[in-house]
Chains A and B, each alone.
Chain A
């Protein structure tokens, strides 16, 4: 469920629902809270890797290389499947049981708003595929103003400005640094490791001007999100929303990250032979 939600509406947004639910389920079922939180965090990152709109690094790659939506999904699918299988194996190996019980009552959704938001998301994807970015923004603003004007007033413009400045900063840094041009396996390794130090969105910005290959970059930066708290914004949100400490998170994630890295490299080599 977390993977599907992240693929559809972005990993960070999915985390706001999945992590509190994981914490509550762990409390009710007596499961290991740390492993459940780590599990849903990794699931959000894995699921978001599948689609161009799943996370910010994919959006950057999608925009820069103008990759067709379904080509992106088709190309990332084997890696997402591999990572999902590793995650499922980890969950079963670590908990040893499948927790099932009576489902909690559902949340009352504003169905009209939810349907309009989904329609707007689909329209935005179509507009952006055709390079009509201004039109996509205009339609979004008009629909939001007509349906839920409060959204425009409450929108976090400072956060948007922060991201815009971050993008400008890393673009400027990228043009100043002497980074050799990278490709293939080397690009995947550098992107995954660099993400552990500066996070995967800045790593994407930094490396996107140093390579002509979008797929190894997408694999590397999404793989990078499966590591440390710094690796992905979703990891940071996971720790902030749960009682799991950074140390506990790393204790669970780092051994698993090494498995993800070796399995990914093996799959990439096998796919290029």
Chain B
């Protein structure tokens, strides 16, 4: 983000535009098939990929104990098994409770604004919006992982 661009288009306005872009994308977000990861000590945790137009944009921690979402930075580890079909049934409810926060942080390496997505006061994900092109930045590594699992 060059200073000359910043003079033409103040920083606050750029952040506002990124937030509006994230808001426009919000209705099109879906939650993909649960990703179940196992730890070396036998625990497991469940993430739900947040999808936009077939691309993963972030992963959301799922709390199988309360069948709800867990904030970023707090994966819920459990012992035993999870009912994937029950999680899938919860997805629509979880999605309808998501909102875009009125604030954004800037990530210089990606030249993108990270706009937080909240679910019941918890920041559960970020939607990254490319500065200048105002397009949604996918998580390519996660997208590849998901596509591999489908086939």
Contacts and interface: CB of A to CB of B under 8 A. Distances in A.
Nearest to A154: B144
A21 B54 contact: yes
Contact of B138 (A108, A154, A233, A243): A108
A164 B54 CA distance: 28
B51 A108 contact: no
B97 to A, nearest CB: 15
Interface in A90-129: 102, 104-110
Nearest to A19: B54
Given A24-B28, A107-B136, A17 B54 contact: yes
Nearest to B52: A107
A116 B28 CA distance: 29
Query: How extensive is the interface on chain B, given as a class?
Result: 20 to 34
A25 B54 contact: no
B11 to A, nearest CB: 20
B29 interface: yes
B25 interface: yes
Contacts of B25: 104-105
Contact of A108 (B88, B135, B144): B135
B138 A107 contact: yes
Given A108-B138, A237-B150, A17 B30 contact: no
A240 B150 contact: yes
Contacts of A241: 150
A16 interface: yes
Given A237-B151, A240-B150, A20 B24 contact: no
Given A25-B28, A240-B150, A20 B136 contact: no
Contact of B21 (A28, A105, A159, A237): A105
Interface in B86-123: 88, 112
B142 interface: no
B53 interface: yes
Interface in A120-159: 154, 156, 159
A27 interface: yes
A16 B147 contact: yes
B66 interface: no
Interface in A1-56: 12, 16-21, 23-25, 27-28
Query: How extensive is the interface on chain A, given as a class?
Result: 20 to 34
A151 B27 CA distance: 32
Contacts of A17: 53-55
Nearest to B25: A105
Contacts of B150: 16, 237, 240-241
B144 A21 contact: no
Contacts of A237: 150-151
Contacts of B54: 16-21
A105 B134 contact: yes
Contacts of B77: none
B2 interface: no
Contacts of A159: 148, 151
Contact of B136 (A23, A102, A106, A154): A106
20 contacts: A16-B150, A17-B54, A20-B51, A20-B53, A21-B54, A23-B30, A24-B27, A24-B28, A24-B30, A25-B28, A28-B28, A104-B24, A104-B28, A106-B136, A107-B135, A108-B130, A108-B137, A154-B144, A237-B151, A241-B150
Given A23-B30, A106-B133, 13 more contacts: A12-B151, A24-B52, A104-B53, A105-B24, A105-B134, A105-B136, A106-B136, A107-B53, A108-B112, A108-B135, A108-B137, A109-B135, A240-B150
User: 9 closest A-B pairs (Cβ-Cβ)?
Assistant: A20-B54, A108-B135, A17-B54, A24-B28, A108-B130, A106-B135, A108-B137, A28-B27, A104-B28
